[in-house]
């Protein structure tokens, strides 16, 4: 059974210029021990779609659809119950470990407060658990680390501590929003390896949000590519990234500095820029930037439908023969 | 012809905890029309070196020369006019542009004397911005476009060298590709020399003609880009390359480099990289290797290499317990 099943998620956010649809009909499922990757450019709705599940959107936002987590629906459940689930059964790791940790509290305090609050452990047991967690995320000398403060750690170590806090209450679902974006590649590799080990050892379902297809490719099992609040292509990592069929997925991959490509070759940028929410083009949102459009692309919103080994929202399907 | 030259530059910062040597003797040179990449992890001193290159921070020792003249640190006196042709573009175009002035007037700042709007429009066109950008404000543009405005500002001064500090970080893949192509074009078509500071070796590879790799305040390797990427001579360069994730769908985890960049105020003995180096042997903690000049326009500071010889390939450690 899947850990999380999202269906028909729609999010509208209030702006000075009126309500704006940011996520427009998104479905996905995540299984235990699986990493489900969501990729797309800034403003594609990937982060908002997660915040919506956790009730973290600003007042005045509207969320439709359902998000089944065990027996519950995260979207319709009372706020109080959602608050007790998030942080315990659902944990989050954000991009910036500088702001997600409290600068004035010791690492030990942040780890033990958390397990005492959610699991009701006494001080001694909570400290044992904290050491166990820091060991699990490979913080050297965990006993000493408990008495230190976030600024005494490097960015990579801080992200490890944030992951330890996320794991403290043995969550079933971990939402990681750009967890390695602020880190050096060498440190990023370490965090990706850590997440990969933890998901197997803890049977943890992971939703990984990233703009980096390299990160996605190294750890995700299944992926969805977001564009302007919709999923344009979804399937197994290997199929989607090796033989992309949506022109947008293909263009994103072509824009990357490919390690095997000849150095002299220019990178292929996608023409134009992603649309801002509220000014999404009619029809297929990608059509003004697409090299393969047909007349219908300008008027009809393409549905996400099964296409062989994947789901695809592109009726012309120009790469189906590959 | 070399235009910007840094030789044995040392930069110290003085703080409460005493002296921190951010750059501990580094040399780099940029010629007109050449793109030189400078890569390394955060805290390796690459941004400090960039600042020393344009005179924003004073060098404690060593020399910085631009077009044959010494680059004097920025002070209260007026900056020598010829240094205007040495420009710096900062990482964040959100904070380096004035939000309350139009793009046109900010680009015009770099020009001396009269500021014909025709020239401003021309420069905006070079960086790929529409001519109506002149009357608009920075907030109306995306991150990638703002970075191009910052580059246009630098170009207005008719520079011979632009130093760019992480210009590609925090951009989406497509915006990054557009900017990378633009940088290449500036070097080829306008004959501007670029010193490109970045932590992302994969993108540097597409733009730079030569790359210098920096670790804890020192250069550990210098090589033509392709050679560095294909046959790194220093274990640290090898580690940076192996850590780049590939978007090939194969599901291979990148190789991580264990340990952390040490505290620059207490660098390790001998080779500064030895505590993290999978190939370290008994000589490494004892003696610091100099930047050995190898064959083929390369140089590496590693005891595995021998001066004057072709760089030896690094032994393959895949599957060994010394890499993760």
Do residues B298 and B233 lie in contact, with contact meaning Cβ atoms separated by under 8 Å? yes
Burial A22-35 (b: 16+ CB within 10 A, else e): bbbbbbbbbbebbb
Does residue A249 sit within a domain? no
Contacts of B205 in chain A (CB under 8 A): 257, 259, 263
Does residue A301 sit within a domain? no
Q: What's the start-to-end Cα distance of chain A, in Å?
A: 33
Residue A193 above 70 pLDDT?
A: yes
Lowest mean pLDDT among A32-36, A88-92, A257-261, B80-84: A257-261
Q: Within an 8 Å CB–CB cutoff, is residue A145 touching chain B?
A: no
Indicate the DSSP class of residue A186.
H
Q: Which of B246, B91, B227, B77 is nearest to B166 (CA)?
A: B91
Contacts of A192 in chain B (CB under 8 A): 245, 253-254, 256
Contacts of A186 in chain B (CB under 8 A): 41, 239-240, 243, 256-257
Alpha-carbon dihedral of residues A30, A34, A38, A39, nearest 10 degrees?
Answer: -160
Count of residues for chain A?
Answer: 322
Do residues B180 and A261 lie in contact, with contact meaning Cβ atoms separated by under 8 Å? no
- Give the residue from chain A lying closest to B228, CA to CA: A263
Residue A18: CB atoms within 10 Å: 8
Does residue A250 sit within a domain? no
Do residues A142 and A168 lie in contact, with contact meaning Cβ atoms separated by under 8 Å? no
CA A229 to chain centre: 14
Q: Which of B187, B91, B111 is nearest to B154 (CA)?
A: B111
Phi, psi of B173 (to 5 degrees): -50, -45
- Give the residue from chain B lying closest to A235, CA to CA: B249
How far, in Å, are A98, B44, B161, B191, B213 from residue B23 at the CA level? 25, 8, 21, 29, 13
Q: Within an 8 Å CB–CB cutoff, is residue A217 touching chain B?
A: yes
Tell me the average pLDDT across A67-72.
Answer: 93
Contacts of A184 in chain B (CB under 8 A): 41-42, 199
Partner-chain contact B42 A155, CB within 8 Å: yes
Q: Distance between CA atoms of B270 and A244, rounded to whole angstroms?
A: 49
Per-residue pLDDT of chain B (324 residues; tens, 9 = 90+): 899 999 999 999 988 778 889 999 999 999 999 999 999 988 899 999 999 999 999 999 999 999 999 998 888 788 888 899 999 998 887 888 999 999 999 999 878 766 677 889 999 999 999 888 999 999 998 888 999 999 999 999 999 999 999 998 878 888 899 999 999 999 999 999 999 999 888 889 999 999 999 999 999 999 999 999 999 999 999 999 999 999 999 999 999 888 878 888 889 999 999 999 999 999 999 999 999 999 999 999 999 999 999 999 988 765 454 454
Partner-chain contact B41 A187, CB within 8 Å: yes
Contacts of B206 in chain A (CB under 8 A): 257, 263, 265, 267
Cα distance from B153 to chain A (closest Cα, Å)?
22
Tokens (6 digits) for A95: 């991009």
Q: A 175-214 residues with CB below 8 A of B?
A: 184-190, 192-193, 196, 211-214
Partner-chain contact A193 B256, CB within 8 Å: yes
Q: Which of B202, B251, B258 sits opposite A217 (nearest CB)?
A: B251
C-alpha angle A71/A76/A77, rounded to 5°? 60
**Beta-carbon-side half-sphere exposure of residue A65 (alpha carbons within 13 Å):** 21
pLDDT of residue B317: 63
Tokens (6 digits) for B196: 């490109």
Residue A13 above 90 pLDDT?
A: yes
Give the 3-state secondary structure of residue B218.
strand
Q: Distance between CA atoms of B239 and A190, rounded to whole angstroms?
A: 12
pLDDT of residue B259: 80
Test mutation, B37, B173, B263, chain A, max A CBs within 10 A: B173
Phi, psi of B241 (to 5 degrees): -70, -40
Interface ipTM: 0.87
**Beta-carbon-side half-sphere exposure of residue B176 (alpha carbons within 13 Å):** 26
Does residue A305 sit within a domain? no
Tokens (6 digits) for B232: 């790194």
Helices and strands in chain A, H and E counts: 11, 12
Single pTM value for the model: 0.90
Partner-chain contact B181 A269, CB within 8 Å: yes
For the stretch A262-295, pLDDT in tens is 666 788 889 888 888 888 999 999 999 999 999 9
Number of domains in chain A: 1
Q: What is the CA radius of gyration of chain A?
A: 21
Q: Distance between CA atoms of B146 and A268, rounded to whole angstroms?
A: 20
Q: Within an 8 Å CB–CB cutoff, is residue A58 touching chain B?
A: no
pLDDT of residue B318: 55
Instruction: Give A107-129 as a DSSP string.
Output: HHHHHHHHHHHHH---HHHHHHH
Range of the domain at A67: 4-220
Does residue A235 sit within a domain? no
How much helix, strand and coil, in percent to the nearest 5, is found in chain A? 35, 25, 40
Instruction: Give B127-183 as a DSSP string.
Output: TT--GGGGGS-GGGS-HHHHHHHHHHHHHTT--SEEEEESTTTT--HHHHHHHHHHH
Q: Which CATH number characterizes residue A102's domain?
A: 3.40.50.300
Contacts of B247 in chain A (CB under 8 A): 213-214, 216-217, 241, 253, 256, 258
How far, in Å, are B127, B162, B167 from residue B187 at the CA level? 12, 10, 15
For the stretch A38-66, pLDDT in tens is 999 888 999 999 999 999 999 999 999 99
Does residue A307 sit within a domain? no
Does residue A87 sit within a domain? yes
Partner-chain contact A269 B174, CB within 8 Å: yes
Partner-chain contact A189 B253, CB within 8 Å: yes
Residue B38: CB atoms within 10 Å: 30
Q: Distance between CA atoms of B250 and B266, rounded to whole angstroms?
A: 41
Q: Is the dihedral of CA A40, A41, A44, A50 positive or negative?
A: positive
C-alpha angle B89/B91/B97, rounded to 5°? 65
Does residue A26 sit within a domain? yes
pLDDT of residue B316: 73
Do residues A44 and A228 lie in contact, with contact meaning Cβ atoms separated by under 8 Å? yes
pLDDT band with cut points at 50, 70 and 90 for residue A248: very high
Contacts (Cβ under 8 Å, ≥6 apart) of B283 = B270, B303
Give the 3-state secondary structure of residue A304.
coil
Tokens (6 digits) for A257: 């500095």
Contacts of A185 in chain B (CB under 8 A): 199-201, 240, 243-245, 254
For strands B218-224 and B210-215, give the pairing: antiparallel
Test mutation, A158, A182, A189, chain B, max B CBs within 10 A: A189
In chain B, where the domains are located: 226-245+254-324
């Amino acid at each position: 059974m899947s850990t999380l099943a999202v269906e028909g998620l729609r999010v509208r956010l209030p702006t000075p210029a009126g309500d704006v649809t940011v996520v427009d009909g998104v479905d996905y499922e995540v299984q235990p021990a699986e990493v489900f990757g969501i990729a797309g450019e800034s403003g594609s709705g990937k982060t908002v779609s997660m915040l919506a599940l956790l009730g973290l959107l600003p007042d005045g936002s509207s969320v439709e659809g359902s998000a089944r987590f065990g027996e519950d629906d995260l979207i319709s459940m009372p706020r109080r119950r959602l608050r007790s689930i998030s942080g315990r059964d659902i944990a989050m790791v954000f991009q910036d470990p500088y702001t997600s940790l409290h600068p004035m509290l010791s690492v030990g305090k942040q780890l033990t407060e958390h397990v005492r609050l959610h699991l009701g452990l006494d001080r001694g047991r909570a400290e044992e658990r904290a050491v166990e967690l820091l060991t699990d995320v490979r913080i050297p000398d965990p006993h000493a680390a408990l008495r230190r403060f976030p600024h005494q750690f490097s960015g990579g170590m801080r992200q490890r501590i944030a992951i330890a806090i996320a794991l403290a209450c043995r969550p079933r679902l971990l939402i990681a929003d750009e967890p390695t974006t602020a880190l050096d590649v060498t440190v990023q590799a370490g965090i990706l390896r850590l997440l990969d080990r933890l998901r197997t050892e803890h049977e943890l379902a992971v939703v990984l949000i990233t703009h980096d297809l390299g990160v996605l490719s190294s750890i995700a099992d299944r992926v969805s590519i977001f564009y302007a609040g919709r999923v344009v292509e979804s399937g197994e990592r290997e199929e989607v990234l090796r033989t992309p069929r949506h022109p947008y997925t293909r263009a994103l991959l072509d824009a990357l500095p490919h390690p095997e490509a000849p150095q002299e070759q220019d990178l292929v940028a996608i023409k134009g820029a992603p649309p801002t929410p509220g000014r999404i083009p009619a029809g297929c949102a990608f059509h003004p930037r697409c090299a393969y459009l047909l007349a219908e692309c300008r008027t009809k919103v393409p549905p996400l439908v099964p296409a062989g080994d994947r789901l695809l929202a592109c009726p012309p399907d120009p790469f189906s023969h590959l | 012809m070399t235009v910007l030259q840094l030789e044995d530059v040392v930069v110290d910062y003085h703080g409460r905890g005493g002296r921190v040597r951010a750059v501990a003797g580094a040399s780099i040179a940029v010629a007109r029309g050449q793109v030189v990449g400078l890569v390394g992890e955060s805290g390796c001193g690459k941004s400090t070196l960039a600042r020393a290159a344009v005179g924003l921070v004073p060098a404690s020792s060593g020399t910085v020369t631009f077009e044959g003249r010494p680059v004097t640190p920025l002070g209260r006196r007026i900056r020598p006019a010829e240094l205007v042709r040495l420009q710096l573009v900062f990482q964040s175009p959100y904070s380096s542009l004035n939000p309350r002035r139009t793009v046109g007037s900010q680009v015009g700042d770099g020009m001396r004397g009269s500021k014909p709007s025709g020239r401003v429009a021309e420069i905006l066109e070079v960086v790929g911005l529409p001519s109506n950008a002149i009357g608009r404000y920075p907030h109306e543009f995306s991150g990638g476009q703002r970075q191009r405005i910052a580059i246009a500002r630098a170009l207005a001064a008719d520079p011979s060298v632009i130093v760019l500090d992480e210009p590609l970080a925090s951009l989406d893949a497509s915006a990054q590709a557009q900017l990378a192509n633009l940088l290449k074009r500036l070097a080829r078509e306008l004959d501007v020399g670029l010193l490109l500071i970045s932590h992302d070796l994969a993108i540097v590879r597409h733009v730079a003609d030569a790359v210098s790799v920096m670790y804890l305040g020192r250069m550990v390797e210098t090589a033509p880009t392709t050679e560095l990427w294909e046959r790194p001579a220093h274990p640290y360069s090898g580690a940076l390359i192996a850590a780049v994730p590939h978007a090939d769908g194969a599901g291979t985890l990148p190789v991580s480099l264990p340990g952390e960049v040490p505290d620059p105020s207490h660098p390790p003995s001998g080779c500064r990289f030895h505590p993290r180096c999978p190939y370290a042997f008994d000589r490494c903690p004892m003696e610091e290797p100099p930047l050995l000049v190898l064959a083929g326009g390369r140089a590496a500071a590693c005891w595995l290499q021998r001066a004057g010889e072709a760089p030896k390939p690094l032994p393959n450690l895949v599957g060994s317990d010394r890499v993760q």
